[in-house]
Chain A
């Protein structure tokens, strides 16, 4: 158990709908990362938040948005869903956004499986 909690574990929804994926980072971790894993694209970085502020954006579609709340949990909002959005969405957390040699490591949750039908 990495200590990163993601809900829901599985979600099936129809095209055009909107869903929210939730992530609770490890206790004490200020950074939250979102990744999308699909068969054709592999593991793609979406977005990084540190202590409530956006730090970096990757291949995140405009239909997707995220935020990190004062209690440090994060939500990934996916709207106008398309079949191609079906994927496993990972949340990861770390103490800071800098992976120094002092032991800061990124820990991954078990993911949220999204199926768009």
Chain B
């Protein structure tokens, strides 16, 4: 079975500061990893995904994530936070892409002016 742990239910950063949202996964088979963002009163929007190949994945809105197998991690980063980045972020895993997504509990990102 797969599982995802997101460290920190709430992260607060200053505008222009680095954003780092942590995600660790557990999977007995090669994982497919995803980051989704949820803005208030909206559905989930895909930010980026890792399936195979290059371990550094670039997504929308300047976000990127790096798959580190040795650390079972898939942390999400953005060099400079913008006020519009304030939202809930979810990391998810699928076993080899053959199983439905299993989500972490989510991390709420606040951006302070």
Query: Interface residues, chain A, CB within 8 Å of chain B?
Result: 2, 4, 33, 35, 42-43, 45, 48, 56, 58, 90, 92, 97-101, 104-111
Q: Contacts A45-B102, A58-B100; is A2 near B49 (CB within 8 Å)?
A: no
B90:A43 contact, CB within 8 angstroms: yes
* Cα-based distance from A2 to B52 in the complex (angstroms): 24
A56:B100 contact, CB within 8 angstroms: yes
* Cα-based distance from A109 to B42 in the complex (angstroms): 8
Given A42-B104, A108-B45, 12 further pairs, Cβ under 8 A:
A42-B105, A43-B103, A43-B106, A90-B44, A97-B98, A98-B98, A99-B51, A99-B97, A99-B98, A100-B51, A101-B51, A105-B46
Q: Would you give 20 A-B contacts (Cβ < 8 Å), ordered by A?
A: A35-B103, A42-B103, A42-B105, A43-B103, A43-B106, A45-B102, A58-B100, A90-B43, A97-B98, A98-B98, A99-B97, A101-B51, A101-B52, A101-B53, A106-B101, A107-B46, A108-B36, A108-B44, A110-B42, A111-B43
In the complex, chain A residues whose CB is within 8 Å of the CB of B41: 110
Q: Report whether over half of chain B's contact residues are helix, strand or loop; otherwise say mixed.
A: loop
* Cα-based distance from A101 to B94 in the complex (angstroms): 12
A2:B51 contact, CB within 8 angstroms: no
Closest to B41 in A: A110
Number of A-B residue pairs having CB atoms within 8 Å of each other in the complex: 54
* Cα-based distance from A36 to B53 in the complex (angstroms): 32
Nearest CB of A to B27, in Å: 13
A45:B43 contact, CB within 8 angstroms: no
In the complex, chain A residues whose CB is within 8 Å of the CB of B49: 99, 105
Decide if B99 is an interface residue (CB 8 Å cutoff). yes
Closest to A56 in B: B100
In the complex, chain A residues whose CB is within 8 Å of the CB of B74: none
Closest to B95 in A: A99
Decide if B35 is an interface residue (CB 8 Å cutoff). no
* Cα-based distance from A76 to B20 in the complex (angstroms): 36
Nearest CB of B to A89, in Å: 11
In the complex, chain B residues whose CB is within 8 Å of the CB of A100: 51, 97
In the complex, chain B residues whose CB is within 8 Å of the CB of A48: 100
* Cα-based distance from A20 to B92 in the complex (angstroms): 27
